[in-house]
A = this chain, B = another copy of it.
Amino acid sequence: MAAWSERLAGVRGVLLDISGVLYDGGEGGGAAIAGSVEAVARLKRSRLKVRFCTNESQKSRADLVGLLRRLGFDVSEGEVTAPAPAACLILKQRGLRPHLLVHDGVRSEFDQIDTSNPNCVVIADAGEDFSYRNMNKAFQVLMELENPVLFSLGKGRYYKETSGLMLDVGPYMKALEYACGIEAEVVGKPSPEFFKSALQEMGVEAHEAIMIGDDIVGDVGGAQQYGMRALQVRTGKFRPSDEHHPEVKADGYVDNLAEAVDLLLQHADK
């Protein structure tokens, strides 16, 4: 592999995944990953632009930022690109009224959205709310539509909590796709539109930006598809087999965000 100086040359902006990179969720809100609080602070003091790009869909942006600040992170709502607000924009633009299968924690993001007489379904990481009854209701709504439209806030396979691996929204998206014979529209990583809006908000072109995430497909593969570079951290849901993924090869693998920031501060924007 080329030297880090070559791999990181010309990077001006950094997109940071949150869960598994900054912190691991779990009991009591979760725990910061060692070194990440300081790494974010160092990055923000540097000449590099920084933005947070998450598929978190259990919590509203306000709640997520509140949690991160309690864990010591310097982050504000305006710095976070998240799928629920992006979905609301799409729903408004297309005049769609969703049936929501989402966690109670994120429901407030949809307060301004008309959910009467639904003509589409939005699913997010609903956690325990992915009951048979709720899944069946979403299925029945879709089957009654002439043109069933399903939005999925991300399509991650699983994420890591302090207690272990947890099913993410992706498997449930696949379940509804198969049940209804349809294909979902993904709002969130790895959708190109989502990276596009995060980069626009950061004011950096794709070829000048790097994504740092723990998901080899959603973070690394998605960012590379969009013309960015991407590093995978060996924290969060990282598994050793990710370094031999059959389709996706990161521009680099680092032990954690702290190491990524060391390398960026040394080699980027040169």
Interface string of A109-136 (1 = CB under 8 A from B): 0000000000000000011111111011
- Measured CA separation A140–B167 after assembly (Å): 9
Cβ of A157 < 8 Å from any Cβ of B? Answer: yes
A181 / chain B contacts, CB cutoff of 8 Å: 157
Interface string of A122-160 (1 = CB under 8 A from B): 000011111111011001100100000000000001100
Q: How far is the CB of A162 from chain B (nearest CB, A)?
A: 14
Of the listed stretches A67-75, A81-89, A168-176, name the one at the interface; the rest are far from the partner chain.
A168-176
- Measured CA separation A158–B132 after assembly (Å): 13
- Measured CA separation A175–B132 after assembly (Å): 13
- Measured CA separation A175–B157 after assembly (Å): 9
Evaluate contact between A171 and B175: CB separation under 8 angstroms: yes
Q: Residues of A with Cβ closer than 8 Å to B?
A: 126-133, 135-136, 139-140, 143, 157-158, 164-168, 170-172, 174-181
